[in-house]
């Protein structure tokens, strides 16, 4: 509906003011460019600069912080810990969200209610969700009480360890990923599916030959975004994880340097490493997406071209 209205309005809008706006285009960009500069580029550059000046700022620039990080197994290990949370969780989240969104693509019974329930975790925020997870999955939580009543000898440990963080990350990122993919998938013209069926495609052929190639670019973006969010995991790693051991992620390492050791320079270095990790993940996904496109699988997405 909105796009129709927009399309109808477009020719009218083009009649005259377009010309005057053309010259004003770059000028209109100034406020947002300034905002990005002040709020993002400057702090980022400052952080990088800070990370290159170890030891309370005396002396010149050096990469000592980075060396220290990678040479200290206790610190370097956080990259592995973070990856071992972020990668499986991203795969799991995207796969499940994709499956559910695919099944719901033509609308289902009680769709609104289900969607609302799914969106709730986004609205509640990380901390409340973590509380909820402790309350439900914790040693004295509902789940364990039920299991004990059912005759289980000991409570199973689902919080304050790897599993706890996995659950928390999933609960937080699944709704986001699901909504994104649902929007993407339900935007594909149902007639394509009908055309494929009439031409002889069974449901699996329809997915593999028609819908997946159209969904893949969107799924890649969802994967990249969830990965970036997972890689920076902090509150959940502390609140439902084991921040001193199994879930000591790179974000926790940075936090400890900054607010427990008051070494802003080292903290900045770790933050930069974390950012680099996210960037690498993003690049890998986008390269894979590009390769899909190059083989002709995903030349044209449904929503984007």
Partner 1 sequence: MAEQIGSLHFRLTKRFGGKTVLDDFALEVRGREFVTFLGPSGCGKSTALNLLAGLIPPSAGEIWLDGTRIDGLPPERRGFGMVFQNYALFPHLTVFQNIAFGLELRGWPRAEIAGRVRQMLDLVQLPGFEDRYPGQLSGGQQQRVAIARALVIQPRLLLLDEPLSNLDAKLRLEMRTEIKRLHADLGLTCIYVTHDQAEALSLSDRVVVMREGRVMQAGTPAEIHDRPQNLFVADFMGYRNFFSLTVTGGDPDGTVVGRAGPLTLAGRGAAPLPPGAAGVAAVRPEDVAVTGEPPGPNVLRGRVRLTEYLGREYDLEVILDSGQTVKARVAQPVAVGSTVGLRLPAERVVILLSEDGGGGIP
Binding site for partner 1 (CB under 8 A): 189, 191-192, 194-202, 205, 209-210, 213-214, 296-300, 302, 305
Kindly tell me the sign of the dihedral angle through the C-alpha atoms of 61, 65, 68, 70.
negative
Closest contact distance (angstroms) between CB of 46 and partner 1 is 45
Beta-carbon neighbour count of residue 53 at 10 Å?
Answer: 18
3-state secondary structure of 176: helix
Q: How far apart are CA 86 and CA 169, in angstroms?
A: 9
Closest contact distance (angstroms) between CB of 195 and partner 1 is 4
User: Nearer Cβ to partner 1, position 111 or 189?
Assistant: 189
Nearest residue to 78 via CA among 233, 250, 247: 250
| DSSP run (H or E) holding 35 | helix 17-36
Closest contact distance (angstroms) between CB of 5 and partner 1 is 20
Q: How far apart are CA 30 and CA 28, in angstroms?
A: 5
User: Nearer Cβ to partner 1, position 72 or 189?
Assistant: 189
Question: Packing angle between helix 162-186 and helix 73-103, nearest 10 degrees?
Answer: 40
User: Nearer Cβ to partner 1, position 217 or 281?
Assistant: 217
- The answer for residues whose C-beta is within 8 angstroms of residue 27's C-beta and 6 or more apart is none
User: Nearer Cβ to partner 1, position 74 or 109?
Assistant: 109
Closest contact distance (angstroms) between CB of 58 and partner 1 is 59
Closest contact distance (angstroms) between CB of 208 and partner 1 is 11
User: Nearer Cβ to partner 1, position 214 or 251?
Assistant: 214
Q: Percent helix, strand and coil across the chain, each rounded to 5?
A: 75, 0, 25
Closest contact distance (angstroms) between CB of 12 and partner 1 is 22
User: Nearer Cβ to partner 1, position 72 or 205?
Assistant: 205
DSSP 168-198: HHHHHHHHHHHHHHHHHHHTS-HHHHHHHHH
Closest contact distance (angstroms) between CB of 220 and partner 1 is 14
| DSSP run (H or E) holding 274 | helix 264-294
Closest contact distance (angstroms) between CB of 106 and partner 1 is 11
Query: Torsion-angle region of residue 255: left (phi > 0), alpha (psi -120 to 50) or beta?
Result: alpha
**The two three-digit tokens of residue 148, written as one number:** 């004990």
User: Nearer Cβ to partner 1, position 130 or 292?
Assistant: 292
Nearest residue to 155 via CA among 164, 168, 142: 142
User: Nearer Cβ to partner 1, position 194 or 261?
Assistant: 194
């Amino acid at each position: 509906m909105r796009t129709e209205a927009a399309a109808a309005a477009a020719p009218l809008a083009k009649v005259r003011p377009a010309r005057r706006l053309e010259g004003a285009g770059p000028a209109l960009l100034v406020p947002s460019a300034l905002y990005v500069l002040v709020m993002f580029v400057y702090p980022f550059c400052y952080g990088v600069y800070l990370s290159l000046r170890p030891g309370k700022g005396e002396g010149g620039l050096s990469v000592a912080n980075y060396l220290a990080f990678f040479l200290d197994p206790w610190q370097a290990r956080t990259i592995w810990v973070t990856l071992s949370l972020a990668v499986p969780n991203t795969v799991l989240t995207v796969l499940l969200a994709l499956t559910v969104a695919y099944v719901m693509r033509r609308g289902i019974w009680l769709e609104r209610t289900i969607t609302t329930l799914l969106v709730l975790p986004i609205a509640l925020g990380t901390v409340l969700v973590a509380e909820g997870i402790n309350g439900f999955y914790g040693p004295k939580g509902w789940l364990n009480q039920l299991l004990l009543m059912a005759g289980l000898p000991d409570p199973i440990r689902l919080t304050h360890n790897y599993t706890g963080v996995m659950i928390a990350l999933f609960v937080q990122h699944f709704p986001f990923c699901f909504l994104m993919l649902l929007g993407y998938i339900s935007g594909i013209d149902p007639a394509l599916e009908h055309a494929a069926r009439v031409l002889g495609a069974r449901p699996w052929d329809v997915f593999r030959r028609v819908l997946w190639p159209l969904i893949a670019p969107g799924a890649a973006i969802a994967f990249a975004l969830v990965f970036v969010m997972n890689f920076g995991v902090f509150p959940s790693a502390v609140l439902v994880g084991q921040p001193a051991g199994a879930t000591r992620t790179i974000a926790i390492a940075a936090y400890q340097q900054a607010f427990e050791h008051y070494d802003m320079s080292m903290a900045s270095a770790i933050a930069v490493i974390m950012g680099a990790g996210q960037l690498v993940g993003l690049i890998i996904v986008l390269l894979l997406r590009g390769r899909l496109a190059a083989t002709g699988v995903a030349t044209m997405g449904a929503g984007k071209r």
